A and B are shown apart, each in its own frame.
Chain A
């Protein structure tokens, strides 16, 4: 019985009352679009397992649209992107107030032909 008491005393309180801090560096969090150019190779679109990234065709331009609602945070899109236009961060705070905020977009330029989706 005294071993039990000693063990409980030694462990102290494990739960915390501080607010959450940053996640570890390697944690796979939100993928974001950065300022690097998007060549429109569609490697991210073909390789996404959850179909979270789509190509939206407008009249004279195209945008890549990423929905966090479908994203499984695997990081394949960031691996496949040739220009590093998508990068994985360790951000884990994903809640938004409206559904539209869950989708982010990026303008795509077409250095490659539309049909050249990269074989994964």
Chain B
């Protein structure tokens, strides 16, 4: 495999010629290509279109303290080679602009808007240069993620520059919903353009729960940064802390002991279980099927009580440490897990049979909220929503981490892309997760549960990734000179999937929107950080 990657990389260097200033390794799986900012769109398009790379994440970094420039990193993942290529470019602070990549790569849209808001690097030719993270009522010249912006500075509010899609015809009703909703859900503002009850267009404004966690983490020692990473989202807590720990471990070149890897995988699958089962129950609330809601909620509660008995926390917080895992399980916990999971499997199967044989429920779910494969590919949608539309991405299989290369599991993919497909994917994945946990229990190795981390080299970056219940999450970490965080960028699955929701909603009726939203089940807090 090594030879093939080397040959492939050198061939790429030949094809790109002098567009690439230099190419160097950054750890075993990553190659960094330094390019001039004018060549950025061409190189990125080449990697995405010709070489079929996936846009993994994009990071903007204020590196003026290091060498006087800003830096942009566009990371592409090549699953078949299990390799990443990062396209890096340096931007002069005196001319903080760069040619926009999202003209040719629609998936880079939100990343570039974020970099413009938070760092002040303006993408030239961006199709949608509206403010994204800071809601347009921040002063235009204040950029919080720059190193000279202190964390506790209060920004004065100005006249809002926010704008939504204007409609010409008088028949179109503009319906604003939120951010305060009638039910207790996360805040988000949706503006529909509807003709009668049919949706023409949806403008979603999120980032109401933007807490500035990336900035808050800068300067924190790594062990404490782990706790902040856990608290980005309530239900993906374990995925985020695992991804962060893996980033730090990759920087230190540390391999965690096998028992720790198996235990991490076990708890990650437990997190996936309670999320998916809760989501299946929650979808029934979208069309008022009370029995489905109560049965789903009951099973989710059973699983969360299992989490509490085995790990000490219902949402599995506080069990990861850098270099391994903080808790260990004994025979008693193993038996508990096996017993509870066999009960849950039986009950869940009954719930699913009830749901799929209920005519009204199936009628509401089928053909609602279709996301086409073309849109999913262009926007680099990940997770359940991608697999339901026929896009087969699953980072557990494509770039294995923890103990996922030691277990065999099947990744379900459906073609239709409607609400019913997403529900079916969740149902299949629940059964797969239970099978994975059984495999892990059979072959759990003994040994240490953690290895200590060596001192980490400063100003080098690494990534950690994890498949959360919603899709793949990537944490990009650069460590500073005294073992503290220098730059931390979280790209959760929700961040990639939100741009796809307005596309799935077009043409459906307004009462179906909550159902479609619930079928994607995106957590706003993960997206907003």
- Is there direct touching of A and B in the complex, by C-beta distance under 8 Å? yes
**Stretch of B32-40, B54-62, B350-358 on the interface side:** B350-358
B142 within 8 A of A: no
Residue of B nearest to A73 (CB): B318
CA distance A49 to B358 in the complex (A): 49
Q: Mark B454-498, 1 if CB is under 8 A from A, else 0.
A: 000000000000000000000000000000000000000000000
B339 to chain A, nearest CB (A): 15
A11 within 8 A of B: yes
Chain A residues with a Cβ closer than 8 Å to the other chain, count:
22
Q: Contacts of B68 on A, CB cut-off 8 Å?
A: none
B359 to chain A, nearest CB (A): 10
Contact of B310 among A7, A26, A74 (CB under 8 A): A26
The answer to whether B223 and A11 touch across the interface, beta carbons within 8 angstroms, is no
A80 to chain B, nearest CB (A): 10
Contact of B312 among A8, A28, A47 (CB under 8 A): A28
The answer to whether B318 and A26 touch across the interface, beta carbons within 8 angstroms, is no
The answer to whether A26 and B291 touch across the interface, beta carbons within 8 angstroms, is no
A3 within 8 A of B: yes
Q: Mark B93-133, 1 if CB is under 8 A from A, else 0.
A: 00000000000000000000000000000000000000000
CA distance A28 to B319 in the complex (A): 11
CA distance A3 to B358 in the complex (A): 10
Contact of A26 among B223, B311, B351 (CB under 8 A): B311
The answer to whether A75 and B223 touch across the interface, beta carbons within 8 angstroms, is no
Known contacts A49-B223, A74-B227: A11-B295 contact under CB 8 Å: yes
Q: Mark A2-42, 1 if CB is under 8 A from B, else 0.
A: 01100110010010000000011111100000000000000
A69 within 8 A of B: no
Q: Contacts of B82 on A, CB cut-off 8 Å?
A: none
CA distance A98 to B33 in the complex (A): 60
Q: Contacts of A11 on B, CB cut-off 8 Å?
A: 295, 298
Contact of A7 among B224, B227, B313, B350 (CB under 8 A): B350
Contact of A27 among B221, B227, B312 (CB under 8 A): B312
The answer to whether A72 and B291 touch across the interface, beta carbons within 8 angstroms, is no
CA distance A50 to B282 in the complex (A): 33
Q: Contacts of B305 on A, CB cut-off 8 Å?
A: 24
CB interface residues, B 197-224, toward A, < 8 Å: 221, 223-224
6 shortest interchain CB distances as A-B pairs? A49-B227, A24-B309, A49-B224, A28-B312, A26-B312, A74-B318
Binding site for A on B (CB under 8 A): 221, 223-224, 226-228, 291, 294-295, 298, 305, 308-313, 317-318, 326-327, 350-351, 353-354, 357-358
Can you name 22 A-B residue pairings with CB atoms under 8 Å? A4-B354, A7-B291, A7-B350, A7-B351, A23-B308, A24-B308, A24-B312, A25-B309, A26-B310, A26-B327, A27-B309, A27-B313, A28-B313, A47-B223, A49-B223, A49-B226, A50-B227, A72-B227, A74-B317, A75-B312, A76-B223, A79-B326
